Structure 1
Amino acid sequence: MTAPNHYENFPVGSIILPRKLRRPIHAIYAFARTADDIADEGNTTIAQRQQQLNKLKTELDCIAQGRQPETELMQQLYERAIAPYQIPLQPFYDLLSAFHQDTEKTRYQNFGELVDYARRSANPVGRLMLHLYGEHHPQSIAQSDGICTALQLINFWQDIAIDWQKNRIYLPQDDMQKFNVSETDIAANKITPQLRKLIAYECNKARKMLHAGAPLGKTLKGRLGFELRMIILGGDRILQKMAENHYDVFLQRPTLDKRDWIKLIKRAFLKK
């Protein structure tokens, strides 16, 4: 998963996960990946993108009404994940809602709007994983939401330059005003002292959310807990790299390399 997208911080369906969960997870990921690509990739118009997303929603409606979906994508989602694990449909509707929003909303007034977006774009993924694992405790769900929201925010901050090319700014408008940062500063593709402080400020909020949810990595036992610890450590490492680069996301987009993953695996194992 090398393309910049909402799921690159979720190595779902890896060989670390229990074998029995790989098929449903792959089906869920295929749905999310397809919907995300509809919203983000290609040269189709906004109306065409929304039409394609609405077709997926219609297929979900078929499942909700007890009818057979038409496309292979949705048939596999139903047969491999939804039906055998009795997965609620709301997380899938939430994902489509977020992707639909991506086709038309390019600015966010405040942090609350970003959190609401993450509630639908990222949190459903964590909730679906918990459901498959059989974990339904409210605290676990809340911690999962915090982790997923943090990862979504981290993805935004590492992709500021890339998102600008799509005419999207996820930095809250009120925070930009607070730190005296303008869209012209972002368009210049060069870090400024004000923008550096703003990104550091936003990263600090994401870090606090990530760490608040981190205990879930120990609550969940076995392979899923191990993978979640890796995900949490990976998000934290991205934040560290941003700090090490003095938050200059224009000069170099922070990513995890092979050496990072080796260290993360060791740390995830020791933190069990």
Structure 2
Amino acid sequence: MKGTFDKVSAKCSMIVTKNYSTSFSLGINFLDEKLRHPIYAIYGFVRLADEIVDSFHAYDKASLLSKFRRDALEAIRDSISLNPVLNSFQEVVKKYKIDLELINLFLESMEMDLKREVYTPEKYERYILGSAQAVGLMCLHVFTEGDRANYERLRGPAMKLGSAFQKVNFLRDVNADFSSPEPDILSGCRPFEVFGQ
């Protein structure tokens, strides 16, 4: 039955979240119970894309990410995916009317992560928009539970919060990125390369 598969899919997203982020998992426990699985689903989707970019160095990352994008958009279009994490995600996208633009912005930022280059201020802001702010806005769709007026009221503050979290992540990871042969901050550029310094 599809209902059973959907439950299994939701559990898979939860398992992904709990295995990849202890702190995020703990944070989810403070949410109302009805909001937890939707946020697990969003995190699972984001985590898989990020994992392609950050960890799969022995594989063709561009090809994997392109396939992931196709699979995600097909899951949303068809309301099903045999990938349980994408199946869980598409269900949340439909239920909470998450804008496709946010999903595409996020995936574009993941594509930016595939290339090592100097970031202009404009590219830096574009990266932050997709990698952090768009994800925060996906979650805001869940938190506001379809109340569009409330979503629009909170949209600006949510974007600022997402941007702040991302910048804290850059600072947290700066030492590892300077010493890593495969730096993953801002598509592999060093933080001081962001503005060409």
TM-score of the pair, normalised by structure 1: 0.55
Q: Secondary structure at the match of 2:160?
A: helix
Residue 28 (str. 1) matches residue 48 (str. 2): no
Provide the rounded CA distance (Å) in 1 between the counterparts of 2:22 and 2:103. Answer: 18
Distance 1:35 1:12, change over 3 A: farther
Can you give the 5+ residue segments of structure 2 that lack an aligned partner in the other structure? 1-16, 184-188
2:100 paired residue number: 89
Provide the rounded CA distance (Å) in 2 between the counterparts of 1:44 and 1:103. Answer: 13
After superposition, the C-alpha distances for 1:22-53 in whole angstroms (9 at most, x for unaligned) are: 111111101101110100013224xx111111
Aligned match for 1:100, one of 98, 107, 111: 111
User: RMSD value over aligned CA atoms?
Assistant: 2.8
Provide the rounded CA distance (Å) in 1 between the counterparts of 2:193 and 2:18. Answer: 26
Provide the rounded CA distance (Å) in 1 between the counterparts of 2:37 and 2:108. Answer: 25
Residue 171 (str. 1) matches residue 174 (str. 2): no
Residue 58 (str. 1) matches residue 91 (str. 2): no
Across the two proteins, how many residue pairs are aligned to each other? 170
Aligned match for 2:155, one of 126, 133, 141: 141
- Normalized per residue, the structure richer in helix is 2
Distance 1:8 1:32, change over 3 A: farther
1:186 paired residue number: none
Distance 1:71 1:30, change over 3 A: same
Letter in 1 for 2:190: I
Residue 76 (str. 1) matches residue 97 (str. 2): no
Contact 1:12-1:26 within 8 A present in 2 as well: no
Runs of 4+ that moved beyond 4 A = 7-13
Identity %: 23
Residue 39 (str. 1) matches residue 53 (str. 2): yes
Provide the rounded CA distance (Å) in 1 between the counterparts of 2:26 and 2:107. Answer: 19
**Pairwise CA distance, 1:125:** 1.8
Contact 2:76-2:94 within 8 A present in 1 as well: no
Letter in 2 for 1:116: R
